[in-house]
Amino acid sequence: MQTCMPDVKTIVGAASSGQFSSADVHGFESLGSTSEWLRSQHNMIERLLAQGRPQLCVTDWQQAGVGRRGNAWQTLPGNITMSICARLYKSPQALLGLSLVTGIAVAQVLEEHLQLPVMLKWPNDVILNDRKLGGLLTEIIQPTLPMKGQEISGGLQEGKPASDVLTGIGINVRRDENVTSLGIGATSISDAGSKLSNSDRDKLVGAIADKVLAMHGKFVADGWELFTEEWAARDWLADQPVSIVRDNSTERTVARGVNTHGALLVERAGELIPLYSGNVSIRTVL
């Protein structure tokens, strides 16, 4: 398949908030997995993260991507396949709901740049016209504490809990006949009528990375409450009958939004039950 090297200058130039100005960008024509590459380089990039320098890995063709629950993420050259690693000064427990914030950031960029009416399916699917446009995966790869007296971009952070957060983002730019019938069905930016050049794609990568970093910073500073209204407006599952699939069991409930920790609330026999992502799959009931 024909591939094209992502243009780092175009990616960096698309950032507007300044959150992305200190980031390092690693571009590849093809790669097994952007998240796996960052994870494999973590010993090297840990020093950069401590200096307040987020790391972005992007490839034109990701050949062995991994989605939630270990599922393969199949993609073609020309799609958006990227991962961001950044240090956030919160404990892992305080970052519950961060993946939902990532989804909101991605949705805002696609709406602002392409006028796409994007919805979000808890916990990590990007939905367009009731079909899957993309997916997200958030992992904490190494909680750590700064060394005594360590200087970073935000000043001294001595004694504060810290988490190195790895965020994988995949968005279908091109139509792929092999995945259009899987799950809830797939769609793409091209299916929605927007034909993007490689340069257009790279601009979106930069804009998404910039927005994700900015909104993660707001989440760390202000918590989930800042995002509750927008999540509710984009919540594709809201008030829909859903099936909760765990291993060999399936239970039917009704989705009722999320709580302050980003857990999905489902109604069962008049009681609201919180669900955390873990080894659970949520499917709409036809």
pLDDT one-digit tens code per residue, 106-139: 999 999 999 999 999 999 999 999 999 999 999 9
Task: Give ranges for CATH 3.30.930.10 in the chain.
Answer: 8-231
Architecture of the domain spanning 8-231 = 2-Layer Sandwich (3.30)
Residues of the chain with CATH 2.30.30.100: 237-284
In the CATH hierarchy, which fold is given to the domain comprising 237-284?
Answer: SH3 type barrels. (2.30.30)
- Cα(61)–Cα(169) distance, rounded to whole angstroms? 13
Among 141, 138, 188, smallest CA distance to 168 is for: 138
pLDDT digits (tens, 9 = 90+) for 40-98: 997 888 889 989 999 999 999 998 756 554 555 557 899 999 999 999 999 999 999 99
Q: Rounded to two decimals, what is the model's pTM?
A: 0.90
The confidence score (pLDDT) of residue 143 equals 59
Query: Of all residues in the chain, what percent carry a pLDDT higher than 70?
Result: 86
What ranges make up the beta strands (E) of the chain? 24-31, 55-62, 65-66, 72-73, 80-88, 119-121, 125-128, 131-140, 151-152, 155-156, 163-171, 241-246, 249-258, 264-268, 271-275, 281-284
pLDDT at 150 over 80: no
> In this model, does residue 214 exceed pLDDT 80?
yes
